[in-house]
Amino acid sequence: MIRHLLLGVSLATLAACSADTGGTPSAGITPARFERFTYSGGDPVHEGVPRDAGTFLNPVLGGFYPDPSNTRAGDDYYLVTSTFAYFPGLPVFRSSDLVHWEQIGNAIDRPDQVNFGTLGLSRGLFAPAIEYHDGLFYILNTCVDCGDNFLITATDPSGPWSDPVWLPDLVGAIDPSLFVDDDGRAYILNNGPPDREPEYQGHRAVWIQEFNLETLETFGERIVLIDGGVDFSEQPIWIEGPHIYKVDGRYYLMAAEGGTAENHSQVVLVGDAPMGPYTAYENNPVLTQRDLPRDRANPITSAGHADLVQTPDGDWWATFLAVRPYGDDQYNTGRETFLMPVSWEGGWPHITGPGEAIPYAAARPDLPAGDPEIAPMAGAFTVIDEFDTSEMGPDWMMMRNPRETWWQLDGEALELQPRPVGLGDFSNPSFFGRRQQHMFGQAELAFSFTPDTTGSRAGLAVLQNDEYWYFIGLEQTEDGLAIQLRRRAGSDAPSDGTVIATAGVSLNAGALVEVRATARGPRYDFDYRLPDGGWQNLLRGADGTILSTRTAGGFVGVTMGPHAFTPTGE
């Protein structure tokens, strides 16, 4: 089962949803058998903020949950985020109060829906947008380098979702979203190249085109709504993530501007018709943290890519991405999902004012309290997966689409087939990852493994992407069994990493071994425990900055989980 603990108190057992394709791993090589995975974390900043029944903690989705988009259907709210080249992709969350979010599935959970091939982990599924209209849920998305823009639909947001309907008019675009007006006419917005040669690096445009909800096709003229940004004279970069909202008969166009780093922001324009023209708000941006001192304590930065939703009582809220750096724009947890109220002043929406910091705790929405037994995603918590279900939970991901079934759950443990596919091979290794959700977090893994050949190994991977990772596990070396720590830090490093710490061990076949990785901001500690023994340190204070987005590049965050490898497929 999967047990979720908040501050040491058991909350619930969740029924696991699955991205599993079923079947049994190929025979011939002894599988690694994983009996328990434990993730726990709690950041000091949350210990010092006031919190009671009337408040919530930011981020509401801790860890690598970027580019959030939300919609309301009745009294429930639904949210999706980017997953890039991880599979299954596009997690779907449900909430009744905008605070407690339960993952109910993944919209891309069949390997044949999209194909990531050998793409880098930060390619693939960018910035989904979810909408609900007339009994049907829509997700629009871009598969970068793997098919461009598409639409999927579902009557039940937990799935199944349809196969992609590709949108050829949007070739070369990203960040599509859907707006349906009161008269039933529908429109698709997107970020795309300008209508001429770009005049500077990052010069993009927001486009709109009508959309047929019956045939699921775009039609008619494509029109540029925003050229470059709200003030072209300043050469604004990467206008993206557009959404339209109809408020009091007028149309508000919101978009992110300034790129996804520390200059990220959210801007708004208004018009009298969906296809414009639109006039920019003179006091833009309506959300940013770029005007705060960089040396402030416990900063939240890079805020933008917002989506608004209105409650039945008329209140407005925004979900958006931001990051929590521990150093000079260094963060390992990726871009996370935050929540803030939206106020309307003089006919314009406001999320943050000039110099206003995003709060770590804020007053909750005036909505019925969410289910307290939903797995916590904010603040301090512990998650234990004993792999005693028939299918993997929806929060487990693998690198790219599986080509074969290399995993099996027998009701007591997870078995991974060691294969000659490594963490650095830009492929689909025998690896399941779960997000690191705290700056100060820890993953523990209990497993047994009897290596068949020199170089075979199984254990715990702590991974930012194919080129930046750590792995601690049991390995057969030329000198015998050993607990080894491997590191890869860059494209020039060996694809299977370099051994940076080792400890020879003597074990009986099938003996249970435990390994753990502890994140302390920019430092990681790696430990192991043998049967009938205590925890022993293998390496303390390993460089965690190699797992930061600033060093490793891309748009993802650290994932942690079981991995098995063998150098031979025989």
Residues with active-site annotation: 67, 240
Say if residue 261 is exposed, middle or buried (CB neighbours under 10 Å; 0-12, 13-18, 19+).
middle
- The count of residues in the chain is 570
Q: Evaluate whether 39 touches 302 at the Cβ level (below 8 Å).
A: no
* Cα-Cα end-to-end distance for the chain: 34
Q: Evaluate whether 320 touches 351 at the Cβ level (below 8 Å).
A: yes
Coil, helix or strand for 215? coil
Say if residue 297 is exposed, middle or buried (CB neighbours under 10 Å; 0-12, 13-18, 19+).
exposed
Q: Which helix (H) or strand (E) holds 107?
A: strand 102-108
Measured CA to CA, the distance from residue 486 to residue 360 in angstroms comes to: 35
Question: For residue 382, which of 97, 36, 20 has the smallest C-alpha distance?
Answer: 36
Question: For residue 230, which of 264, 273, 281, 194 has the smallest C-alpha distance?
Answer: 281
Which DSSP string corresponds to 319-388? EEEEE--SSSS--SS-SEEEEEEEEEETTEEESS-TTPPPPSEEEPPSSPPPPTTSPP-SSSEEEEE---
Measured CA to CA, the distance from residue 465 to residue 479 in angstroms comes to: 30
Q: Which helix (H) or strand (E) holds 88?
A: none
Q: Evaluate whether 463 touches 554 at the Cβ level (below 8 Å).
A: no
Measured CA to CA, the distance from residue 129 to residue 140 in angstroms comes to: 5
Question: For residue 409, which of 393, 392, 431 has the smallest C-alpha distance?
Answer: 392
